[in-house]
Amino acid sequence: MATPSITVTETPLVLYALRRADDALILGHRLSEWCGYAPMLEEDMALSNIALDLIGQARALYAYAAHVEGRDNDEDKLAYLRDVRQYRNLLLVERPNGDFAQTIARQFFYSAFADLYWRSMMRSADPTLAAVAARSEKESAYHLRHASEWIVRLGDGTDESHARAQAAIDDLWAFTGEMFTVDDTERGLIDAGVAVDPATLIPKWTDTVSDLMREATLKLPENAWMQQGGRDGRHSEHLGHLLSELQYMQRSFPGASW
Amino acid sequence: MVDAATSRDRERWQRAWDTAAAVTDPEIPVLTIDDLGVLREVMLGDDGRVEVAITPTYSGCPAMNMIAVEIALALECAGFPDATVRTVLSPAWTTDWMSEAGRRKLSDYGIAPPLPSSSRRALFGVQQVGCPQCGSTDTELLSEFGSTSCKALWRCKACREPFDYFKCH
């Protein structure tokens, strides 16, 4: 019989750590799907390395969430034994890999945010989150550079690569707004200096993205309507498929290890 | 006057430190965890058990688990059973903690050591990475990601040898 899901007591701090951990895990898993399939060996290594960084960030955040929650959950249970509605990641990171341009555009939007976010979080009043941030900001900066170079290469490349890059930007744009949303549970943490108010990151993020689009001869869509729901567990159909692959072994063979 | 118990404790602590410090990185076996700056603290409890504190390098470095196991194993063999290894996240590890000896060993091993400052400028600025084979600084980046999460792949334009560069972090 399959292992049932755990329950999590989502105090504001637990929920806050879980949301960021879920972002990193799901995006890391998505990138790991490229392993062995990337367009060239260097990219195979790059995407796998970025996946490793993200999954490492997720581990630290899950371990912290479990510690703060103070029950018998741990990083593995949080990753393997929560169902779709219990996942709190951004809808952006669960978007399917699509073609290489889709993967890179998703990575660019997220990394441009993560770079600013983790840099600000180094000043968090929470020492563990500040420590996770100190490592993650260097990694995010590196990821951002990698994705930025590809955006320019694809956008300012051939007609085919330009068209694909533009289609990817158009498709993913509506998922970027969720990165900057704040709900009541996070408002308290922001006031306490534990969390960063993501609204303060919008001007710089917009500059980074707009400047690069110009360099890559790409256009940002004009629509301002943004999709959201992931932070509250309302996901697209894609996350369920991803989790069935991610969690299959632990669900079917509880505690399996090697 | 130092009493016998204190001096014995000090000797035992030194032996525990030396044992832990000699554990090497499974992916770069010429570097010890002391060279890397990963080994932060060794404590001797009242019950004689050893507690070791290490700071992880890259978030996703798969070597960290193995390093923790090897520390416990080395201590066990040196007569310190049931040692615990604790991970300390703060302050975050940086390549600036790598010792001079470590940098030399890396270079002799064929891996260009990290540039001395892990500032954002070093991360993004113009990098002048020296070839560990011939010493030329006429080098070029081949791939920002290499054989492990801590390395990038470079090539020397003078001797044409490709080489690993230990990235700034």
In this prediction, residues B1-7 reach a mean pLDDT of 71
Q: Which CATH class is domain B4-87?
A: alpha beta
Domain that holds residue A36: 12-252
A199 pLDDT exceeds 80? yes
Closest CA to A202 of A113, A134, A98: A113
Where residue A200 falls among pLDDT bands split at 50, 70, 90? very high
ipTM of the complex: 0.82
Return the CATH number at A130.
Answer: 1.20.1260.10
- CA atoms of B146 and B164, how far apart (whole Å): 7
Is A180 contained in some domain? yes
pLDDT at B124: 57
Q: What is the pLDDT of residue B120?
A: 55
Smallest Cα distance from B93 to chain A, Å: 8
Best of B61, B94, B145 to disrupt the A interface (most A CBs within 10 Å) is B145
Residues of A in contact with B56 (CB under 8 A): 56, 135
Pick the more confident residue, B46 or A81: A81
Q: Are A239 and A90 in contact (CB under 8 A)?
A: no
Please give, rounded to a whole number of angstroms, the shortest distance from the CA of B146 to a CA of chain A.
7
Nearest-by-CA chain A residue for B153: A42
H-type alpha helices, chain B? 4-21, 33-36, 63-77, 100-109, 120-124
Residues A26 and A239: beta-carbon distance below 8 Å = yes
Domain membership flag for residue A57: yes
The pLDDT, as a whole number, for residue B138 is: 93
**Distance set, CA B148 to CA A49, A225, B153 (Å):** 8, 41, 10
Q: Is residue A2 part of a domain?
A: no
Chain B residues near residue A42 by CB distance under 8 angstroms: 142-143, 145, 153
Q: What is the pLDDT of residue B48?
A: 85
Q: Do A128 and B90 touch (CB under 8 A)?
A: yes
Q: What is the mean pLDDT of residues B35-62?
A: 91
B7 phi-psi bin (left φ>0, alpha ψ -120 to 50, beta other): alpha
Residue A61, pLDDT > 70, answer yes
A239-248, B57-66, B123-132 — most confident range: A239-248
pLDDT of residue B150: 86
- Any alpha helices (H) in B99-141, and if so which ranges? 100-109, 120-124
- What was the pLDDT predicted at B6? 84
Interface residues of chain B, partner chain A, Cβ below 8 Å: 56, 58-62, 89-93, 118, 120, 123-124, 142-147, 149, 153, 167, 169
Higher pLDDT, B46 or A232: A232
- Average pLDDT score over chain A: 96
Q: Which residue does chain A place closest to B169, by CA atoms?
A: A138
Work out the minimum CA distance from B94 to partner chain A, whole angstroms. Answer: 8
Contact A53 B60 (CB under 8 A): yes
CB nearest B58 (choices: A56, A130, A141)? A56
Q: How confident is the model at residue B29 (pLDDT cuts 50, 70, 90)?
A: very high
A132 interaction partners in chain B (CB closer than 8 Å): 89
Q: What is the mean pLDDT of residues B31-59?
A: 93
pLDDT at A194: 98
d(CA A13, CA A125): 12
Q: Is residue A41 part of a domain?
A: yes
| Domain limits, chain B | 4-87, 98-166
Query: What pLDDT score does A195 carry?
Result: 98
Residue A44's pLDDT band (boundaries 50, 70, 90)? very high
CA B98 to chain centre: 6
Sign of the Cα torsion B124, B105, B151, A116 reads negative
B126 confidence band (pLDDT: 50, 70, 90): low
Of A48, A56, A128, the CB nearest to B61: A56
Q: How confident is the model at residue A190 (pLDDT cuts 50, 70, 90)?
A: very high
pLDDT beyond 80 at B125: no
Residue B89 DSSP SS3:
coil
Structural domain contains residue A223: yes
- For chain A, the farthest-separated pair of C-alpha atoms sits apart, in whole angstroms, at 55
If contacts are CB pairs under 8 Å, which of residues 33-92 in chain A contact chain B? 42, 45-46, 48-57, 59-60
What confidence score (pLDDT) does residue B117 get?
Answer: 62
Q: Is A138 on the interface with B (CB under 8 A)?
A: yes
Reported as a single tens digit per residue, the pLDDT across B94-112 is 999 999 999 999 999 999 9
| Interval A9-32 mean pLDDT | 98
Confidence grade of residue A1 (pLDDT, cut at 50, 70, 90): low
A17 to chain B: which residues are within 8 Å by CB?
none
Give B19's pLDDT tier (boundaries 50, 70, 90): very high
- Total domains in chain A come to 1
Counting one residue from A and one from B, how many pairs have CB atoms under 8 Å apart?
75
| Cβ atoms < 10 Å from Cβ of A111 | 23
Query: pLDDT digits over A132-159, tens only?
Result: 999 999 999 999 999 999 999 999 999 9
Sheet holding B84-87, edge to edge: B39-44, B50-54, B84-87
Give the model's pLDDT for residue A150: 97
